[in-house]
Every structure is written in C-alpha cells, then in structure tokens.
A and B are shown apart, each in its own frame.
Chain A
Amino acid sequence: MPKPDSLQGSLDLLVLKILSRRPRLHGYAIMTAIQQMSGDVLRAEEGSLYPALHRMEEAGWVRAQWIVKDTGRRARLYELTPAGKQQLASEESRWQAVTAAVNRVLRTA
C-alpha cells in the first residue's frame, strides 16, 4: 500500500461533507463542488480524488453506482453510507479540535 499523502485526511473530510449535503454526485461534480464552495481556494487534483474515492468505497464510507445519463454515457455516482456518516462526524470533530488548537497557538504565540 502506498503511504497516504498529508492532504488525504482533509480531502476525505471535504468529500464526505459534500456528499452528506448533496447525495449522488459523480467525481467531476465533487471536484467542482469543492472548488466552488471554497471560493476557488481549494482544488482537488483528479490524480488524488479518484484513488481517495476508491479507498473510501473499499472502507465502506461511500457507495458507488453506475447510471446511464441522458446523453447515453455511463457515469459513476457516489453517496454516503451510514458508516460514512459516522466517519464524517468523527473527522469533523477531529478537524475542529486540530484547527482550534492551531488557532490557539496562533493567538497566544
């Protein structure tokens, strides 16, 4: 197994959060959602997004489904599983704890 890169934790969190708001998105939509919601500050690279999605799928946090779009092309839609919801909650609280800690350091130092 390749080592998880340092951004992976936050990428997972963003993907899970987006899927919790808007179920059944394909990869491109998730990518644009991250971009729009962050006001163009954050960009998920395709090269990281898909392996992350597939990893989360194997971990059972998201599930995927092939659908046929109006154009006749197939697309793979992702949605959150109950396990994913739990994961999101714990990731979110961890993120809060980390950012709170970082903020404390920034304030007091």
Chain B
Amino acid sequence: MSLWSRIANVLRSDRLSREIDEEMQAHIEEAVEQGRDPAEVRRAFGPALRLREESRDARLIVWLDSLRADAIFGWRQLMKNKVASAAAILSLALGIGACTSAFRLIDALLLRPLPVAEPQQLYALVRQGVDPEGRFGTFDGWAYPDFMLMRAAAGGQADLIAVSYSERADLTYRSDEEMEKAYVQYVSGGMFSSFGLRPAAGRLLAEDDDRTPHAHPDAVLSYDYWEHRFGGDRKVIGRTFRMGNDLYEIVGVGPERFTGTEPGTMIDVFLPTMMHPGVTRPDWTWMRTLARVKPGVAFEPLRAKLDATSRAFEQDRAKGFHGMSQKDIDEFLNHPLLFEPAAGGESDMQSAYRTSLLALGVLVALVLLITCANVANLMTAQASARAREMALRVSIGAGRGRLVQLVLVESAWLALLAGAAGGLFAWWSAPVAVSMINLPANPARLFLPADWRVLGFGLALTVAVTLLFGLAPALRASAVQPVSALKGGEDPHARRRLMHALIAVQTAFCFLVLFVAGLFVATFHRLSGRPTGFSADRVLTLETVARRPQQPVYWDQVTEHLRELPGVESAALASTTLMGGWSWNNSVSVNGAPPNGVLGYFMSVSPGWLATMRIPLIDGRDFRPGDTYPGSALVNETFAKAYFKGANPVGKSFDMVFDQGRTAHFEVVGLVGDACYRDVHEPTLPQAYYPFTALDRKGVLQVKAMDRGMFMVRTSLANPLALAATLRREVPRAWPEFRVSNVRTQLEINQSHTVRERLLARLAFFFGIVALVLAGFGLYGVLDYSVLQRRREVAIRMALGAHAGHVARRVTADVFAMVIAGALAGLALGFASVRYIESLLYEVKPTDPQMLALPSLIILAAALVAALPPVIRTVGIDPATMLRAE
C-alpha cells in the first residue's frame, strides 16, 4: 500500500509540493499566533526548499519522479520540433512495423511449434539426392507400403505418422449440385493420440482406423471448419458427406487450435489414410512421414535402420524397372534417409517461402537501421543545439547518468510512439502480405496470432531501437564540457565525424536494398515476360468431373455443345491444363534403341485443342476423329531436338517405355510449337500429345472411360469469367452425368507461377523506395547541419574571394566521399549476400552491369538532389551580413 501511494504521489507530485508548503505555512502562522517571532520561526525551519525535498523524497519514489520529470521534459522537446519528431516517428513506425510484420509471418510459418504435445520430438523423414530433372535437394514424399515397413522397423523407438499432402477436394453434404470445396488431409489414425490431442466434440480418429484399406469412412472436422461451416453445431456428429464415390460419416471435431501439420494451409477435414486411393500403391508418393522420436533414443542407429528398410523396399521395386540404365537405377536408389526437425510442421509453403521471407526480413531490418541512423543524426544535431542547456545542467550539479537518462527518455518517447504506430501497421500489413501470396483456387491461410511472442518481439525491437539511435547521442550529450560549451566553442568536428560515419552506413544499406530490389524486379519481369508458347487471353478452363466414368464420345458431345454457345470462340478437351502443375513423364525410345535418359512429358488432348490454345502447327496435321492412343502423336520442337536430332519428325515413329517393359508405339502426325508444360521456371520440356480414344494391347478399340477432364474454352469476351456461370450450367445440360467442379482462367493459372516473384518484386521495390527516401532525407539533414555549422567559415572564405563553386565543393566534399565509400561497401555486401538469394532469381546475374549501374546511379542522383538545397544556401550566404551577425 505504501509503495502504491508512493507511486501515486509521483503522478500528483505538484499537489504534493503544494500540500507540504501549505502545511509549513499553517505551522508558521500557528507559531506567530502563539506569539513567536515570524523571522525566528522561519529560521527554525531551515531552507524551505531542502525541507520540501526531504519530505517529498519520503513520500514518493525518487527515481520514478525524476523519470516523470524527464518524460514531461522530453515530450515538450518533441512538441517543440513537431515536424522533425513526426517524420522521425513515422519513419521509425514504418521500420518497426515492417520488421514486426515480417517476424509475424516468419514466426507463423516457420518458427511457431505445432499446438501438439512435445512438438520438439517431431521430425519429418526426407530423402536427399538428385531428382529426375537433375536437381539436388530433399524430397519428403513417401509411398504407403514403404511407410508401413518403416513403421514396423521403428518399433518402440519412434511413432511414425503418415500425413498426406493436403488436397482441395470436392465434397457434398446433400446433392451433387451442392458440391463444395474443402481442404482434406489423410492422416494415420494414431496421429491424434500421438499428438496428445482431445476432441472438441465426438471422437477423433484412432489406430483402429488404420487397419483395412477402404474400410474406414470416418471423418474428423477441424475446429475452425466446424465453426465456419456449421456454426459449432454438435448435431453435426453422425452426419454424412460424399466425396468421390465414398460416403463418409463425421465422427468428431478436432481441438480448437489444431489446423493440420502444414502451416499455410488450414485443414478442414481429416480422413484416415486407409481411404486414400493410393494406400496400396508402391509407386505413388502421396504423403509425408512424421516421426515422433521417443526421448533418449539414439538418432543414428534409428536413422540407419529406417534407411535400410526403405532402401530394401525401393530395391525390390526397381527390379520391375525396364528401359532404365543401371546408372539411373543406382542414382534412383542413392537417396539416403534423413531426419528433419518438424516441430513447426512441414509444408510446401514453408519450403517455397522460407528464403523469400528471410530475405524480406533482412530488407526491412536494413530499412529500420537506415531509419535509426537518420534519427540518431537528428538527435545529434539537436543535441548540439542544446549543448548550452546541457552545460548549464552539468554546472548546477546534474550527474552524467542523469543527462544520459534525460536524452534516452526523449529517445524512448520517439521509439514508444513509433512502436505503437508500428504495431498497428504490423496488425494490418501481415494479413495483407499473406493475401498477396493467395491464389483464388488455392487460398493460403496462415494462423496469424498476435500473442506474447509477437508483442515481446515488438517491445524488444522498440527497446533495441531506442538504444541504437539514442545511446550514442545521449553519451555524447552527457560528456559535455560546461566551460567550452558555455563559451560556445565545442569541437564541431567530433559531432560531424559520427554523422558522416552514419551517412556511409546508411548509403551502404540503401545500396544493398536497392541492389536486391533490382534483382527481384528483374527476375519478375523476365519470368512474366517469358513466352509460354500459347495464348492465355480470354481462355477459361472448366475442370469437370463425372459421377461415373464416361465414354469419350460423351465428352466430345459436350465439347460440341460448348462450341455452339454464344460468346464461345472455340472449345476443346484436354486431360489437364498447361502449367497446371500436373505432369506425366516416361522414357522414350526411337527405332527400338534404348532410351537416351531424357524423359518425355505427355498429355491427352482432343482435336481442335491446338487451335483453341493458339499453339502453332509447324508441320503435319492436327488430330482428327479416328486417331488413337497408341497410334498418333503430336510432338513439340524440343521433343524433335531431344529424340530426332532436330530433324522434322513428322511421319517418323517412337515408343513410350513403361516401368514393366511394356511399350506403346506412336507415329508423329504433327510438329507443333513449344509450349510451357509444367512450370515457367523450367526450361521447355520435350512434350508429346495423344488423342483420348484408346486402343487396348491387342489393338482393339478400348472402352476407356474417364471420370475427369478439362474443357478449354476460348471466349470472345474481354472478361471470360462473365461466361463462367453459363458454362457451369450448360455442361450438365449437354450430359447430366457431368458437373463442373472448378472454373479458372488460364491467365490466373499462368500468373500463379510468378506469385512469389511478384510478392518479392513488389515489397522489395516498395522498401527500396522507402530506403532511398530515408537515406536522401538523412543526407540532406547532415549537409544542412554542416552548412549551418560552417557558415562563419564560408563567409570568411567568400569575403577573402573564394568562388562559390569552390566553397560548395568544400562543404559537400567529405559527405560525398562518405556516400561513395558507403556505396562501395554496399556493393561488397551485395556480392556477399547474393548467394543466399540465388534460388529466388531467374536468369538474372548479380554481376550484370545494369544490375550494378542502376542502384549506383539512383543513389548518386538522390545524393545530388539531397545536396542541392544546402548547397544553394551556402552559395547564397552574404559574407557581410553573416560576419556582422556573428
């Protein structure tokens, strides 16, 4: 209570002083009434001020009171220079906010442990090696039979958990007309108990759900989905939904914060792995393997055991490979198994954005440092204006610590205000950044809590920033020598040296930011400007599913119907979209020779598909009805180069070679232009296209029904999506077994490949501008200050007949030397750091002259613009007026 009243007294200290005075006054009056001599009573009190101080000190906390006084004084100081303070606070707020925002994203995606028991025991099993495209890396995909062997081998040393890659699936709670999308993840039944999770309602999947393939149609909803889709209704337990041909029963709801094991995707529905169509397939890698390693288990023996198990499985499988050279098989088997820590989960978004987010984090940190340098210079300049005040404080007895406190409290004001504004900025900007990596068909959803981790980071950052920009000016101000300062003659060079060093640092960081931003922008431009080989304008893709597999003739019938609709220019059918991410590859043999190791990439298309996609036919003809698989193929130019040595392949033939040694024979009926098949970052792949109509092995027309296809429709509308609703309606009208599950524009599919590059280019460009503006203002401030300091010198020089140009050079020379030194340092930093972001660049070399010239020129131009006003001011100094005034 006493402590509290002392804290409270700090806040009402004026009243406290008044009360003490009043009491003293009452005492004196009382004494005088009793007949004592007023002068004598006053003398008895001693110095009134001392008494008041003593009483005050008894009744409040001294350091808190001095802090309060400094805070009030610091606030007044800020208010005195409203414009400068506002600029400092805003730029700091941007820096702190951007850093906090970057931390929020990095934390949410990469650092935050999954909300499960003992997350640090979780590891992901990955294999390391060279992929079929020749890239070295780690792969986390596993086949379920392999997983079962490893799980048995791990025994009691580790729980192995299978979790599928999340899928955006179509499911319905009522009729087929009311299909909806949901994120589905197939998980081991034992996952929930191993994670120590409890159901919010009903039950969770259990190990019993892991027994028999296709026999456990149980589903667990995630809490988030339960809230959004069903409003948290408990009656949902026991309801059923249909997905594909299976009817699932909802058995329970997961715990509140658990959204699956893939940060970046929030799972809606968990299903048992046994229900996945690939659960018995040895050649289908559709899931990740997580391992919860029991405490005290030695890693290496466990790893070696699992590695041997998995290698034996793959060796067994490789016996069935035909047409693959022994070297390729050895390479295929040479993928050692590793444990990767997975306390924060394991997702594609993590691997896609890990480097990007860290790079952006560094960029915003640099911007914050530039801001700190600016504010430090501002404080130093202000401190010099206040040298006399400081000297006065020292001469009336203020200690050095007290002066450091005074200046630091002022810095803390700036940082606190900036921190608060920055917090708001981070609150707003982190979800905006996430929405920038969203695709309409595949929205990224990241759980972005604003809890003690984020708050703690923001506060720590604010304190660090305060010390960073406040400590040097504070120490300098406190080291004031009263005698020299009061005489007005402190060494001005000392201050300028600090400011100049900061200018060099600022320029170096600014150069680095601009350099990296330039690389990102160039990467984005080159990628988005890369020709795809087809025209995506006004093209709609209609992903269509059939209730039961349908004959090609019905698919053709729908294509015909679509062609006749108003607003449709042309329509065709394909097994998938170009650049849709899906791929099918196989070895190719020409004239019965063994495959040359280059993989060919394939897809099925209908007649008219070439024209709809506007892929040029270079020689030969398009498909026509009657062409079959095997039989006829269209190949692209890269295919001709890869297998026919660049000769015109029309009329020649090749064989596709399957794993088990089977082959399929094709004659090339047409040569077509190169088109981007899978990913815009890759070189063009050798591709061949097949017709849908299939023959069986004896050459008899085979009834190969399809349950899924992609109608490609080129519309005559500027906005093709305007036709989406009509097309959705018309497809089932042409044949009622069909239903359109998803409509996307081809343009959106193409753009989805450059989402990351666009994000990096946009944000880096923005922060590049911010860095440039801040560094420019910093430079201006320092030059302006040094002109102000040296105007007497300038006036004397001019009076002695120096040329204006000469004077201007003298004033700016050392600052420009600092800018150049800084730029060179920035260049060195840039070269040193570029290898960390190489994976984010596309056909951009950091050593390109233009990549170096551009930031240099921009910085030089900014420096010139910033120097102009101070230089004009210098030249405009009238020696007569100046010298008279001094």
Contacts and interface: CB of A to CB of B under 8 A. Distances in A.
Interface of A: 1-2, 26-29, 32, 45-47, 50-51, 54-55, 57-60, 73-76
Contacts of B6: 58
Interface stretch (B52-60, B252-260, B322-330): B52-60
B432 interface: no
SS class of chain B's interface: helix, strand, loop or mixed? helix
Interface string B13-48: 000000110111011011100100000010011100
B698 to A, nearest CB: 105
Contacts of B22: 74, 76
A32 B34 contact: yes
A58 B26 CA distance: 21
A46 B23 CA distance: 11
Interface in B43-84: 44-46, 50-51, 54-55, 57-59, 62
A26 B26 contact: yes
A62 to B, nearest CB: 12
B847 interface: no
B41 A46 contact: yes
A27 B23 contact: yes
6 contacts: A28-B31, A46-B27, A46-B44, A54-B20, A54-B55, A73-B29
B45 A47 contact: yes
Among B2, B23, B29, B46, find the residue whose CB has the most chain A CB atoms closer than 10 A. Answer: B23
B396 interface: no
Given A51-B58, A58-B6, A46 B34 contact: no
Given A47-B51, A50-B51, A60-B2, A27 B34 contact: no
A79 to B, nearest CB: 15
Interface of B: 1-2, 5-6, 19-20, 22-24, 26-27, 29-31, 34, 41, 44-46, 50-51, 54-55, 57-59, 62
Contacts of A47: 44-46, 50-51
B269 to A, nearest CB: 64
Among A1, A29, A51, find the residue whose CB has the most chain B CB atoms closer than 10 A. Answer: A51
A2 B41 CA distance: 24
Nearest to B60: A58
A53 B31 CA distance: 18
Contacts of B31: 28
A55 B58 contact: yes
B30 A26 contact: yes
Nearest to A75: B26
B27 A54 contact: no
Complex A-B, nearest 3 residue pairs according to Cβ-Cβ distance, in ascending order:
A47-B46, A28-B30, A51-B54
B770 to A, nearest CB: 49
Nearest to B31: A28
B59 A57 contact: yes
Given A47-B45, A60-B2, A73-B29, 12 more contacts: A27-B23, A28-B27, A46-B41, A46-B44, A50-B20, A50-B55, A51-B54, A54-B58, A54-B59, A58-B6, A73-B26, A76-B23
Contacts of B30: 26, 28-29, 75
Given A51-B51, A54-B55, A76 B1 contact: no
Contacts of A60: 1-2
A95 to B, nearest CB: 23
Contacts of A32: 34
Contacts of A1: 57, 62
B6 to A, nearest CB: 6
Nearest to B30: A28
Contacts of A2: 54, 57
Contacts of B51: 46-47, 50-51
